[in-house]
Amino acid sequence: MHADEEMKMTYSGIVPIQGKPGMSVRFERGKDMAEGILPAGEILRSSGFSAEELDALKQYLQEHKRELMEKAKQMSNIRNLFEDKN
């Protein structure tokens, strides 16, 4: 990956993905982007990343699946506190 460019990662809370609870993860580096999903650990769309870089991002998703899914659950719990229950 380009060492001089910062990689940013953003992720969703728990959302339905392919009929099951999951989350989306987005990697951005300058104009390059890759979007993946968990728990499948797949990259669904990308632009600007090489095949080797996409393989590394998939590996990252697999290696950090449990940790990322836990963060998504926490985000979903916090979001539920602010939803209007009326």
DSSP string, 22-47: EEEEEEEETTEEEEEEETTTEEEEEE
Q: Mind listing the pLDDT tens digit of every residue in the chain (86 residues)?
A: 455 689 999 999 999 988 899 999 999 999 999 999 999 999 999 999 999 999 999 999 999 999 999 999 888 776 555 555 55
Distance of CA 56 to the CA centre of its chain: 14
User: pLDDT per residue over 46-61, tens digit each?
Assistant: 999 999 999 999 999 9
Between the CA atoms of 49, 69, 39 and 83, what dihedral angle is there, to the nearest 10 degrees?
-100
Q: What is the reported pLDDT for 40? A: 94
| Cα–Cα dist 51/59, whole Å | 12
Domain ranges of the chain: 8-79
Q: What is the pLDDT of residue 1?
A: 46
For residue 2, the model assigns a pLDDT of 56
Q: How far apart are CA 22 and CA 15, in angstroms?
A: 5
